[in-house]
Structure 1
Amino acid sequence: MIKAVLFDLDDTLLDINFTAFMTRYVAGLSGLLGDISRTPAPLMGVPFTRGYLAMEDRDRSDDLTNHQLFINKVHALTGIPMDDPAIADAIDCYEREFVPAMRGGIVAARPQRGGRQAVDVVHELGLTCALATNPAFSEACVEARMGWANVSPEDFVRISNWDNAYRLKPNARFYQEFVNSLGLTCDECLMVGNDSRRDFARPDCGLRTIYVGHAWPRRAVWHGPMSRLARELPNIIRRFDGEETNKRDMASL
Structure 2
Amino acid sequence: MYKNYLFDLDGTLLPMDMQNFTEHYFKSLCKKASPAIGIEPQVLINSVLGGLKAMSTNDGVENNHDVFWKAASSVCGKDLTQYSELFDDYYKNEFEYAKRATQVTPYAKKSIDYIKQHGGRLIAATNPIFPKVATYKRLEWAGVSPDDFEYITVYENSGFCKPNLKYFENICEKCKISPNDSIMVGNDVDEDLCAAKLGFDTYLVTDCIINRNDRDYSKFKHGSFESFYDFLTK
TM-score, normalised via structure 2 length: 0.88
- Name which one, 1 or 2, has greater alpha-carbon Rg: 1
Secondary structure at the counterpart of residue 36 of structure 2: helix
**Hey, what does 2:94 align to over in structure 1?**
98
Secondary structure at the counterpart of residue 137 of structure 1: coil
- Residue by residue, what CA displacement relative to the aligned partner does 1:125-153 show, whole Å, maximum 9, x if unpaired? 21101111111111111122112110111
Structure 1 unpaired stretches of 5+:
236-253
TM-aligned CA deviation for residue 28 of structure 1: 2.8
- Verify the 8 A CA contact 2:60 2:160 in the aligned structure 1: no
1:66 aligns with 2:59: no
**Hey, what does 2:228 align to over in structure 1?**
229
**Hey, what does 2:108 align to over in structure 1?**
115
The residue type paired with residue 68 of structure 1 is D
1:124 aligns with 2:122: no
**Hey, what does 1:244 align to over in structure 2?**
none
**Hey, what does 1:181 align to over in structure 2?**
174
- Residue by residue, what CA displacement relative to the aligned partner does 1:61-93 show, whole Å, maximum 9, x if unpaired? 451111211101012222322322xx1111101
Secondary structure at the counterpart of residue 16 of structure 1: coil
- Verify the 8 A CA contact 1:55 1:66 in the aligned structure 2: yes
Identity of aligned residues (%): 24
**Hey, what does 1:248 align to over in structure 2?**
none
Secondary structure at the counterpart of residue 15 of structure 1: coil
- Residue by residue, what CA displacement relative to the aligned partner does 1:176-216 show, whole Å, maximum 9, x if unpaired? 11122211122221111111111123682222211111576
1:151 to 134, 144, 156: 144
TM-score, normalised via structure 1 length: 0.82
Aligned counterparts of 2:79 and 2:17: Cα–Cα separation in 1: 30
Aligned counterparts of 1:95 and 1:149: Cα–Cα separation in 2: 16
Aligned counterparts of 1:167 and 1:103: Cα–Cα separation in 2: 26
Aligned counterparts of 2:189 and 2:141: Cα–Cα separation in 1: 23
Secondary structure at the counterpart of residue 190 of structure 1: strand
- Verify the 8 A CA contact 2:168 2:195 in the aligned structure 1: no
Structure 1 residues 155-234: aligned runs within 5 Å: 155-201=148-194, 204-213=197-206, 217-218=217-218, 220=220, 222-234=221-233
- Verify the 8 A CA contact 2:12 2:205 in the aligned structure 1: yes
The residue type paired with residue 185 of structure 1 is S
TM-aligned CA deviation for residue 159 of structure 1: 1.0
Q: Note closer, same or farther for the CA distance 1:71–1:219 as it changes in structure 2 (3 Å cut).
A: farther
- Verify the 8 A CA contact 2:124 2:152 in the aligned structure 1: yes
Aligned counterparts of 1:66 and 1:112: Cα–Cα separation in 2: 29
Aligned counterparts of 1:113 and 1:152: Cα–Cα separation in 2: 14
Secondary structure at the counterpart of residue 6 of structure 2: strand
- Residue by residue, what CA displacement relative to the aligned partner does 1:80-108 show, whole Å, maximum 9, x if unpaired? 22322xx111110100111124322xx1x
- Verify the 8 A CA contact 2:24 2:97 in the aligned structure 1: no
Aligned counterparts of 2:114 and 2:80: Cα–Cα separation in 1: 40
Aligned counterparts of 1:46 and 1:75: Cα–Cα separation in 2: 10
- Verify the 8 A CA contact 1:209 1:219 in the aligned structure 2: no
Aligned counterparts of 2:126 and 2:24: Cα–Cα separation in 1: 19
